[in-house]
Structure 1
Amino acid sequence: MNKEPVKNGVKLTNETIYGDWEYNAKKPGAVRWLDEGASYSALETASGYKDAKLEKDQYGDDIKVYEEIVQYDPATLERTVLLPLKQLIPQGSDKALAVDDYQWSEDKSKILIYTNAKYVWRKKDRGDYWIRDLNTNELWQLGGEQSAPAEMMFGKFSPDGLKFAYVWKNNIYVQDLKSRKVQALTNDASSTVINGLFDWAYEEEFSIRDGYRWSPDSQRIAYWQLDTHAAKDFLIINNTDTLYPVVTAIPYPKVGEENAAARIGVVGLETVKTQWMSLPGVAKDMYVPRMDWANNSEQLLIQQFNRKQDTNSLFYADANTGKAETFLTEKEDTFIELMIEPEWLENSDDFIWQSERDGWKHVYRVSRNGKTYTDLTPGEFDVTELVSVDEKNGWLYFIASPDNVSQRYLQRTRLDGSGKMEQVTPSQFSGSNSYKISADSSWAIHTHSSFLSPPVYSLISLPDHKAHHMLEDNAALMAKLDELSLGEVEFYSVKAQDGLRLDGYMLSPAGLDKSKKYPLIHYVYGEPAGQTVRDAWQGNRGMWHFMMSQRGFVISSIDNRGTAAPRGHDWRRSIYASNGDLETRDQSDAINATCARWKFIDCNRVGVWGHSGGGSLTLNLMFRYPELFKVGVSQAPVPDKHLYDSIYQERYSGLLEDNVENYVEFSAINHASKLEGKLLLVHGTGDDNVHYQGSERLINELVKHNKQFDLMSYPNRRHGIVEGKGTSLHLSTMRANYFMNNL
C-alpha cells in the first residue's frame, strides 16, 4: 500500500468502534437518477436539522428522521427542493413522515413515500405508503382502510402512473389513484399459498423479494405464486420476551427435503382472472428465479432452473394462453451461478445477457430468438457487474479488473462487438470503484475506496470521469484514521501445494520488529458467496482488525478456491461436490507459505475466525489442522451441511442422493473429535438463516468426545448477531479478549 504507516498515534478500542460508532463511514441518502436524461434526486437532511445528533441503529448507522427530497441538475449543480419537510407532515399530525425510500411516477408528477418500514427477513420490506402529488400538493396514505399499519409490501406505480399495486397478507392489490378504489387481484392466499412475494429460501438464495411485475401497458400484472405446503416448517423459539415461549414457524426446505412449488400467473386488471403459464416439470422440483415481461405486453420471459441447478431454460410464455416455449438454454456440468435479467435494447430485438459459457463471466449481445451470440467482453477476465447500456452512443459500461482481482474498475466497450475494451476509471483511483450511472450514461455517482481509505462519493461526467461535485468525502473519518497507530498493509500471493496462486493480504502491527515473533489472526470466509481479499474499505470489521494489529497481532486473509474472486469458471467450480479437502488445504497451504516467507510470524500461535460460511471454515480448520490452528472463534456456523437450505447447499454440494459421502466428509461436525486448540462457538438462537440447531448438534458431538470449548449463545439474535442494545460491542469485545487471552 502507498500509505505511510503511522507508528505512534491513537489506539482503537471496541468501545469507539462498536459502542460510540466513531469510525462509521457516511454515505449520501438514497441518490437515484431519473428515468430520462441526467437529473438525479436525493434524500437529504432538512435545513435546521443538519447538526442534529441522531440515534444509531443496530448497525451503527444514523436513524434519519428529518429528511426532504431534493433534485439536482448535474451540469449546473442547481438544487431544487422537491419535497420539503413541511410537506411531509400528514394532516392532523405535527410530525413529518420518516422517509425510508421513495419512487417517482413516470411523469414525475407524484412521489411515492415508503415509511414506517419494518424488517421481514433481511430487509425492511413491510411498511406504509403515502403519495405526494406535486401538482395538487396533496399528501395522502395509500392502501385503503383494510390495510393495517406497516403491513404493505413492494408498493409501486403502474408504468402509466395512474395506479398503485402492492402486496398485503400474501395477496396482490391495486389502487386507482384517481378514484382511490382498492381492488384485490388475487384472493387465494393462505398459510401456505403466497402471491407476489417469496418464501425464505427464494429470497435468501435467489436474491429476489418483489414477486410481481407490471406489464408495460399497465393493464396486467405477472406474478409468482408459491405453494409452501410441501416445505416443512422450522420452528424458532423466543424464550425471553414473554412469560411463555413464542414460536415462529418458517417454511424452510433443508437439503434433500421437499421445496416450495413456484408458478407464474398473469392477472388482468379488467377481468381479475389469472392465466397460469405452462412450464414443464414438477413445480416443487424446479425453480423459477427470474421472470419479467419480454419487452412487450404480450409475452413473458421466464427462467427455469432444475433442482440440481446445472440447467437454466429460458422460455417465452404467451400471457394470453399460458403456452411456454424454450428458446435458450444455459447448461453446466456443475452448477449455474448467474441469475440475471436480460436487458433489452430499444433499437433492436436483441438483449444484453451474461454467461460463463467460454470459461469467464462475460457480457453477450443475444438475438431475440437466442440463436445469435456476440461476446462483447472477450478475454481472460471476469465481468463482476454490468453497469449501464448507452445505446445512443453505442457503449456498454461494466466493472472488471483484469490485472488485479482484489480491485474493481469501470470499463467500456462497443455495443456492436467492435473495438477494444477501455478503462474509464483513472489510474489514480486505485482500489475499488462502483458507479450509479444516469439514464443517458453521461453522468455517474462514483464511489471509491481502498483498504485504508473510506468511501468517497462524487458526481462525475462520463466518459471523461471529471469530478463536478463532492457528495460525501468522509473527510472527518479520514482525519481520524490519519491519527491512528497503524502498520503496513500488503497484498501478496503464495502458492498452494499444487502450484496454484492464492491471493491474500496482511496487516502488520505498527512499529514491527522483524527480530521478534508475532501471533497471527487469520480471517476466513471461503464460500462461493464472497471474497475477503479486496482492496476496499472493510467497515467496522476492518476497524476491529486494525485494533487487533495495534494489540500486537498480524492480521491476514486468503481467498481459497471456490470463492467469488473474479478468477474464472474453473476457479469457482473446482469446489463442486467437495469433501472440504480443497478449501481447507488451500487455507493451510497459504498459512504455511506465509510463515515460511515472513519469519516474524509465530506459527505456533495462529488463530482463525469467521462468520457464517467463515464460521464453518473456522471449525473445519480447527478440526482438520489442529497442529496449525490453535485458537478459533466460529460465529454462526453450519457444522452439518445437511442442515442448511436446499437451494444453496445443493447448488454447490450436489444433490444429496448423488453425494452422500461428500456431505458427511465436508461437515465439520464429523471431525469434531480432532479438536485440540481453544474454540469459542458463537450463535444467535433466533438465527433464521443458519439455525442454532447446528451448533446444538456440534455441542453434543464435542461433549461426546470430551472436547472442552467455550460457548456464547445470544438469545433471539438473527444471523448477523446485531439485534439488541450492546450486542455488537459485546461480541467484538469477547472475540478480542479470546484471542488476547489464548493466543
Structure 2
Amino acid sequence: MKRSFLIGLMLLSTLPSWSQAQLTLEDIYKNDTYKAERFGPVRWMKDNLGYSTLEKNEQVDGDDIVKYKAQTGERTVLVSAQKLIPASGNKPLSIANYEWSSDNSKLLVFTNTRKVWRYHTRGDYWVLDMNSGKLTQLGQSVVRTTMMFAKFSPDGTRVGYVSKNNIYVEDISNGKITQLTFDGGESIINGTFDWVYEEELDCRDGFRWSPDGSQIAYWQSDTKGMGTFYLINNVDSIYSKPIPFPYPKVGTDNSAVKVGVVSASGGESKWLDVPGDPRNNYLARMDFIPNSTEVLIQQLNRKQNTNTVWVGNTQSMKLTNIFTDKDEAFLDVHDNIMWLDNGQSFTWTSEKDGWMHLYKVSRDGKNFSTITNGDIDVVKIDCIDPKGGFVYYTASPENYTQRYLYRSKIDGSSKPERVSPKNQPGQHAYQISGDAAFAIHTFQNSTTPNKISLIDLQKHKSIRTLEDNNALKEKVEALNLKPKEFIKIDIGEVVFDAWMIKPINFDISKKYPIVFFIYGEPANSTVQDAWQREDLWHQYLSQQGYVVVSIDNRGTRAPRGRDWRKSIYGQIGILATHDQAAAAKVLFKSYDFINTEKVGMWGWSGGGQMTMNCLFRYPEIYKSGLALSFVSDQRLYDNIYQERFMGLLQDNESNYIAGSPITYAKNLKGNLMIIHGTGDDNVHYQSFERLVNELIKHNKPFEMMSYPMRTHSLNEGENTSLHLRETMARYWRRVFDD
C-alpha cells in the first residue's frame, strides 16, 4: 500500500512534434507523448576513471556494453552484442543485468526474465569468457527460467544461484553443478524469501558467498503455519484458478526464518542459534564482514522497535550481541553499513538523537561517534569515501520539499557542507564514483524534467550533458499549464507543506471545485519539488476547471526529524485524518476562490484508505471521494507494515479499528467511487468486497469498478491505464459538473 502514489503515469521519450497544445489522457497514458529520456543504467568502473552503460547495437538488434572515460569521453566497446549470440541462436541475449568477475575475465548475464511479485528476479544466466569468447548457459540440469540471484564466487571460478527454493554452485570450467540444499519446496524457502519479507523488508537475494569462497551463508524460511491467501483467476480459463500464496495478516504467524551456513562444495548446513521465537522476530539483514569468517546479523523484534545486532562466527557458530538499537515507536532497516579502519569499525544509521544521522561504530559495538551532525536528517547515503575522508549524503534541512547533496568528514569534525549548487532549487540525485571524483548528476524540479550530466564532483562542474530532456520541457511548456505553487498551511499545532495547481484560465473572482490528492502514510511524501509522475494527471484535472491540492500531514516521510515521522505511531488513519481536515479548513479561509460545496479527494493504496477516512469522518468538508486499491480494514493488511506503524494488535486493537475507514462507512453522505484490481496481491480484493458489504448494509449509494486480475498497480493488460484514467475523469465530471 505504500507504493500508491508512485504508480501510474510515466513522465518520460519523445514523439514527433505535435501542433495542438492540448493535454489529453490519450497522450499521457497511451501515446507516451510525455515520456522523458533516461540515461543508463550506469556503473562506475573499478578504477573510478570511467563508467559502463548499455547502448543499442543496431546491426544485430541487441545491446553493447560500452565504457566511457569520465574526463575525456573516450568510448570503448567492452562487450559487443555479437559476442552475446548463443551458438544455437541468431539473436543476442537481452541484458536485464550483468556482473563482472573480480578480475574482469568473465561476464555474468541475466536474461529471459520473469516477475516474482514486484520484480523480475527469475530467469536464465549465461557466462561469457572474455579471453576465449566462449558463451555458456548455466544451470543445464535445472529447469530454465527458474534461476535467481546468480553471483560469482570471490575468485570468479564458480557461480552460486537459487532454483526452486534450493541453492546450487556451478563450476564454470566444467559445468559441474553441486546442490547445496535439498529441502526447498512449497513451504521451505532457501536463498530467497516469502512475499512479506520481499515487500516490507526489501529482502530478495537470500544468500552470501564468504570472502574466501569456501562457504555460503543463507536465509531459510519455513512458511508452514502461515495463513494462505488465495487470488482467483477467472479470466484465463473457462474454470477459475485459485492462486495460493502465504501472506501473514496483522496478528497472524510469520514464517520461521533462520540463517544457515553450508560448505560451497556441499555437505550439511549448520545453523546460527539466534535467540527468540523465529516467527516473532525478523532476521532483516545478514552479510559477511569483509576478510573474515563472521556474519553481521540484524534482528528486529515483532514490534520492530528493537534492532539487535549480532556477530556470528561461521566456523564455531558462536553468536555475540555487539549492540542493540531501540526506539519507543519503530525502527527502519538501513543498508548504509561500510567497514572502515581495516574492519575495526563500521557505519550505522540511527535516529537516536532525534535526527537521522550516520555514526561510526567500533567492531565490538562499544564505541559510537557521530559522523553527521546538527538538526539535519540524512535522507540517503550517496558515497562513503574513506581515502578522501568524507561521507556524501542527501539532505534538505531548509526546504523539506527539496533534496541536495551534503558532505561531512568521517571523523565527525565538520558541520554539514552543501555540495549541490545554490542556483538550482529542486531535487538533486547523484551516482558517485568510489573515490568521489566524479558523479552522474540528475537535477529536476516541478517544472524541469531530469537534466542528467557527468560532473567533476569536487568542483561540482559539468563535464558534459548526458540527457537534457529539453524536447520534453518544450512540449510541456507549449501546453501553457499553471505551475505548481508550493505553499505553507499553519494549523496552529504545526505548519504543513503543500502544493496547489490552478486552472489554466484562472480567474480569482470565480469559485472552483477542489480535488485533494492524498497519501498521508509514513512510507512516502506527495509534496516534493520534483518532476512527479502524477503531475500531468493533476494538470489534466486542473484543465477541467478544478483546483488541485496536496498536503503532507504529520508522519509522512519528510526530512523533518524523528518526532515528525514517529508522531503517527499507533494512530495510522487517525492523526493524518485530523491533520488533513484541519489543513482544509485553513485553506478554505485563505482562498476565497475555492468552492467549499464541491470538495473532492482521491488517493491510491494508503491514499485510498485516507480518502475514505476523510470522506466518512468529515462529511461537512469532503463531498466526494475516489479511492483506488485501498485498505478498508487495517487488520486485513500484512503484519510487517501495519504492525511496524501501529504496534501489535493485542496492544492497540481499538486504534486499528478507529483508523480503518470501514468503521465509518455508515457515515457516508457524499459521493464515493471505489476501484480495485481483483489480482492485487498486495492489498487484497477482500478489502474492496468487505467495504462494499458494509456500504450495502447501511444502504449507502456508491459507484465501483473492478479490473480483472490487475494487481496493485492497475496497469496490466491492454489499454488498462487509459481506461482507468478516463473512468476517474468521468467520475469527477459527474460529481462536479452535473
- The alignment's TM-score, normalised by the length of structure 2, stands at 0.95
Give CA deviations for 1:676-710 in whole Å, capped at 9, x if unaligned: 11111000000000000011000000000011111
Aligned residues of 1:10 and 1:483 also touching (Cα < 8 A): yes
- Shift in Å at residue 460 of structure 1? 1.0
- Shift in Å at residue 341 of structure 1? 4.8
Residue 451 in structure 1 maps to residue 446 in structure 2: yes
SS at match of 1:410: strand
Aligned residues of 1:684 and 1:692 also touching (Cα < 8 A): yes
Aligned residues of 2:397 and 2:560 also touching (Cα < 8 A): no
Aligned with 1:543 (options 528, 536, 548): 536
Aligned with 1:126 (options 106, 115, 122): 122
Aligned with 2:84 (options 80, 84, 88): 88
Letter in 2 for 1:33: W
- Shift in Å at residue 626 of structure 1? 1.1
Rounded to whole Å, the distance in 1 between the matches of 2:201 and 2:122 is 19
Alignment of 1:219-258 (within 5 A): 219-258=214-253
Give CA deviations for 1:299-327 in whole Å, capped at 9, x if unaligned: 11001011011110000111012221101
Rounded to whole Å, the distance in 2 between the matches of 1:401 and 1:500 is 19
SS at match of 1:119: strand
Letter in 2 for 1:140: T
Alignment of 1:65-84 (within 5 A): 66-84=62-80
Give CA deviations for 1:477-521 in whole Å, capped at 9, x if unaligned: 11211211211321111112x421111111111231100111111
Rounded to whole Å, the distance in 1 between the matches of 2:559 and 2:495 is 13
What residue number does 1:523 align with? 517
How many residues are treated as equivalent by the alignment? 718
Output the aligned Cα RMSD. 1.4
Aligned residues of 1:200 and 1:252 also touching (Cα < 8 A): yes
Aligned with 2:101 (options 77, 102, 105): 105
Aligned residues of 2:572 and 2:645 also touching (Cα < 8 A): no
Aligned residues of 1:289 and 1:339 also touching (Cα < 8 A): no
Alignment of 1:239-278 (within 5 A): 239-278=234-273
- Shift in Å at residue 644 of structure 1? 0.3
- Shift in Å at residue 360 of structure 1? 0.7
Residue 561 in structure 1 maps to residue 557 in structure 2: no
Rounded to whole Å, the distance in 2 between the matches of 1:630 and 1:302 is 50
Rounded to whole Å, the distance in 1 between the matches of 2:129 and 2:341 is 30
Aligned residues of 2:290 and 2:343 also touching (Cα < 8 A): no
- Shift in Å at residue 601 of structure 1? 1.5
What residue number does 2:723 align with? 730
- Shift in Å at residue 647 of structure 1? 0.6
Aligned residues of 1:30 and 1:101 also touching (Cα < 8 A): no
- The alignment's TM-score, normalised by the length of structure 1, stands at 0.95
Letter in 1 for 2:617: R
Letter in 1 for 2:450: P
Give CA deviations for 1:311-357 in whole Å, capped at 9, x if unaligned: 10000111012221101101111111233352112545111110000
- Shift in Å at residue 186 of structure 1? 0.9
Instruction: Sort the Cα spacing of 1:143 and 1:297 in 2 relative to 1 into closer, same or farther, 3 A.
Output: farther
Alignment of 1:398-547 (within 5 A): 398-496=393-491, 498-539=492-533, 541-547=534-540
Rounded to whole Å, the distance in 2 between the matches of 1:527 and 1:277 is 36
What residue number does 2:638 align with? 645
Letter in 1 for 2:35: N
Alignment of 1:101-250 (within 5 A): 101-144=97-140, 146-250=141-245
Give CA deviations for 1:200-243 in whole Å, capped at 9, x if unaligned: 00000001111111111111111100001021110011011111
- Shift in Å at residue 272 of structure 1? 2.6
What residue number does 1:60 align with? none
Give CA deviations for 1:140-174 in whole Å, capped at 9, x if unaligned: 21112x22222111111112211111100000111
Aligned residues of 1:517 and 1:599 also touching (Cα < 8 A): yes
Instruction: Sort the Cα spacing of 1:299 and 1:471 in 2 relative to 1 into closer, same or farther, 3 A.
Output: same
Alignment of 1:563-642 (within 5 A): 563-578=556-571, 580-642=573-635
Rounded to whole Å, the distance in 2 between the matches of 1:473 and 1:240 is 43
Instruction: Sort the Cα spacing of 1:721 and 1:710 in 2 relative to 1 into closer, same or farther, 3 A.
Output: same
Residue 34 in structure 1 maps to residue 45 in structure 2: yes
SS at match of 2:587: helix
Give CA deviations for 1:598-650 in whole Å, capped at 9, x if unaligned: 21121221111111100110110110111111111100000000100011111
Rounded to whole Å, the distance in 2 between the matches of 1:471 and 1:48 is 23
Aligned residues of 2:227 and 2:246 also touching (Cα < 8 A): yes
Rounded to whole Å, the distance in 2 between the matches of 1:676 and 1:33 is 57
Instruction: Sort the Cα spacing of 1:529 and 1:403 in 2 relative to 1 into closer, same or farther, 3 A.
Output: same
**Further displaced range: 725-734 or 466-475:** 466-475
Aligned residues of 2:630 and 2:683 also touching (Cα < 8 A): yes
Letter in 2 for 1:669: I
Residue 306 in structure 1 maps to residue 301 in structure 2: yes
What residue number does 1:58 align with? none
Alignment of 1:20-31 (within 5 A): 20-31=31-42
What residue number does 2:672 align with? 679
Q: Percent identity?
A: 47
SS at match of 2:41: strand
Q: Which runs of 5+ in 1 are unaligned?
A: 1-7, 50-64
